[in-house]
């Protein structure tokens, strides 16, 4: 994108992209892996707006995937429930604002690190990540585990929260960067952190009020208040990150415009890395690491307790994010696979789970595995092919948008029966049945059109 793009462009394009990503996250994802969708989108958007080289863009996108994905570790379903009632509105709103601010803090921090990665030594980043995990452990021990400040059910306190762990970990990393970076670089980091925190806090805090409005209105013709919350959260958060990019655009463009040779490893190596990482993240962790973490604790002795602390950190998305970063630094072709292919892979896995749980469509385990492998392999091959081009960002953006939209369409087809379409009035079809997908479609078309027509 040229340097004379307007302020509105820098704010609106990231906002719409994050609106789309956040909506898709709640529809075909969920959790930290679902949050990789808006992370990948915002990473690509920022890279295109700043005219970053492909190699640099790949790392930026992975850092965004890690930073935005981190917030998906936080539980907030019960917190949002309190927003629906007048008596508990403020309690719920404070909770969503705090959790949204932490989400924005981690997202803005890691996005800024990605943008400045040429100025940050690997050793500095490695020590910073170690401090991040130490900060996380302190956050768990001091606040989240004793439930000293608790935003879910305050009476029974049934759920483990992690907002303080993520927040303190991010602050520890931020302090380390303050020590190690030159003043101008840290100013960029601080700008993204502050605007990300503000955008995340306002996005989740204000977005949650849609649930209160829906509970009060009780409309027969509209019930998508939860999605309105997600759309608002993504829009405001994305606009805030776009504003931070606008404020720092000249400096970021000056340090990142250099062109680089696109050297790539053979296709089979990229596919092998994707296969290994997918198996580790989506199979090994749920099968081994998470049960081990749940089966250990200080009640069984000091060693078991220390093992629990270690396994708890290893089972957190933060550690998975660290693995993604290690692979991304290994080769920028691998980085694109981590950011886009693995993001897509989880949407397909989520769809397969939904076929078993939310729909009446019966599918065998074999067919689910085959479908997941074939679709993920197809996306991985396209990612590898597009990444070899001199300016691959447009094609990769289109691939991410329309591959996830295809999964969303399949999800819609499993949820809507033909009889429902023929018996429901057209106005209700638009406002209730197809509303969410129509918003997806409008946002996708805008982002795709803008990428093709407005990006140099």
pLDDT of res. 2? 47
Output DSSP code: residue 141.
I
Residue 298's pLDDT band (boundaries 50, 70, 90)? confident
Q: Is there a contact between 193 and 171 (Cβ–Cβ < 8 Å)?
A: no
pLDDT average, residue stretch 100-119: 97
Separation between Cα atoms, residue 44 and residue 35, nearest integer Å: 15
Q: Among 243-247, 268-272, 351-355, where is mean pLDDT lowest?
A: 351-355
Mean pLDDT of the chain: 92
Task: Tally DSSP H helices, then E strands, for the chain.
Answer: 22, 0
Work out the percent of the chain whose per-residue pLDDT is above 90: 76
212: three-class secondary structure by DSSP:
helix
Residue, of 363 and 137, whose pLDDT is higher: 137
- pLDDT of 118 over the 50 cut: yes
Q: Please name which of 42, 45, 85, 47 lies closest in space to residue 64, comparing C-alpha atoms.
A: 42
In a domain, 449, yes or no: yes
Given this model, what pLDDT does residue 294 score?
85
Interval 374-399 mean pLDDT: 95
pLDDT at 347 over 70: yes
User: According to DSSP H, which parts of 208-224 are helical?
Assistant: 209-217
- Does a structural domain hold residue 1? no
**Contact between residue 321 and residue 334 where contact means Cβ atoms under 8 Å apart:** no
Q: Is the pLDDT of residue 359 over 60?
A: no
Residue 322: domain span: 7-454
How confident is the model at residue 358, as a pLDDT?
57
Does residue 79 register a pLDDT over 60?
A: yes
CA dihedral sign, ordered 201, 70, 135, 195: negative
DSSP track, 405-436:
HHHHHHHHHHH--HHHHHHS-HHHIIIIISHH
Ramachandran angles phi, psi of 301, nearest 5° = 120, 165
231 assigned to some structural domain: yes
Q: In Å, how far from its chain's centre is CA 111?
A: 11
Q: How many domains does one find in the chain? A: 1
From the list 235, 245, 244, the residue with the least C-alpha distance to 15 is 235
Residue 398: pLDDT over 90: yes
- For residue 403, give the nearest of 386, 420, 388, 427 by alpha carbon: 386
User: Highest mean pLDDT range out of 149-163, 233-247, 318-332, 382-396?
Assistant: 233-247
pLDDT at 432: 85
**Residue 358 Cα distances to 39, 157, 352, 378, 410, angstroms:** 26, 28, 10, 26, 13
The pTM (predicted TM-score) of the whole model is 0.95
Within-domain flag for 2: no
Using DSSP's 3-state secondary structure scheme, residue 298 falls into: helix
Q: How far apart are CA 401 and CA 343, in angstroms?
A: 11
d(CA 119, CA 89): 44
pLDDT at 263: 60
Q: Distance between CA 408 and CA 34 in Å, rounded?
A: 12
Kindly indicate the confidence band of residue 211, based on its pLDDT and cuts at 50, 70 and 90: very high
Contact at 8 Å (CB) between 131 and 222? no
Question: What pLDDT band is residue 111 in, cutting at 50, 70 and 90?
Answer: very high
């Amino acid at each position: 994108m040229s340097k004379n793009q307007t302020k509105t462009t820098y704010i609106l394009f990231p906002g719409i992209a994050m609106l789309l990503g956040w909506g898709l996250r709640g529809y075909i994802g969920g959790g930290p892996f679902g949050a990789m969708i808006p992370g990948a989108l915002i990473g690509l958007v920022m890279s295109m707006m700043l005219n970053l080289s492909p190699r640099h863009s790949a790392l930026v996108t992975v850092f965004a995937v890690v930073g935005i994905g981190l917030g998906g570790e936080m539980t907030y379903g019960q917190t949002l429930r309190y927003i629906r009632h007048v008596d508990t509105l403020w309690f719920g709103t404070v909770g969503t604002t705090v959790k949204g601010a932490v989400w924005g803090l981690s997202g803005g921090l890691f996005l800024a690190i990605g943008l400045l990665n040429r100025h940050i030594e690997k050793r500095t980043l490695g020590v910073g990540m170690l401090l991040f995990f130490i900060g996380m452990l302190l956050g768990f021990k001091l606040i989240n585990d004793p439930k000293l400040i608790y935003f879910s059910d305050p009476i029974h306190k049934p759920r483990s929260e992690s907002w303080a762990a993520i927040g303190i970990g991010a602050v520890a990393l931020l302090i380390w960067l303050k020590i190690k970076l030159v003043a101008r670089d840290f100013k960029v980091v601080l700008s993204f952190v502050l605007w990300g925190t503000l955008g995340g806090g306002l996005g989740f805090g204000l977005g949650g009020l849609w649930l209160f409005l829906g509970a009060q209105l009780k409309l027969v013709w509209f019930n998508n208040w939860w999605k309105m919350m997600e759309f608002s959260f993504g829009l405001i958060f994305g606009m805030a990150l776009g504003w931070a990019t606008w404020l720092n655009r000249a400096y970021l463009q000056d340090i990142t415009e250099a062109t680089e040779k696109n050297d790539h490893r053979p296709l089979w190596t990229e596919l092998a890395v994707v296969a290994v990482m997918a198996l580790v993240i989506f199979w090994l962790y749920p099968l081994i690491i998470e049960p081990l973490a749940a089966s250990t604790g200080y009640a069984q002795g000091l060693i078991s307790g220390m093992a629990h602390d270690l396994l708890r950190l290893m089972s957190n998305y933060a550690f998975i994010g660290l693995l993604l970063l290690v692979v991304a630094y290994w080769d920028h072709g691998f980085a694109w696979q981590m950011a886009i292919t693995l993001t897509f892979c989880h949407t397909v896995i989520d769809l397969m789970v939904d076929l078993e749980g939310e729909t009446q469509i019966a599918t065998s385990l074999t067919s689910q595995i085959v479908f997941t492998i074939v679709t993920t392999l197809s996306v991985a091959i396209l990612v590898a092919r597009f990444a070899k081009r001199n300016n691959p960002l447009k094609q990769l953006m289109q691939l991410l948008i329309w591959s996830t939209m295809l999964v969303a369409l399949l999800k819609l087809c499993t949820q809507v029966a033909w009889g429902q379409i023929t018996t429901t009035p057209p106005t209700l079809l638009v406002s209730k049945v197809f509303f969410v997908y129509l918003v997806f479609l409008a946002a996708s078309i805008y982002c795709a059109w803008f990428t093709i027509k407005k990006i140099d």
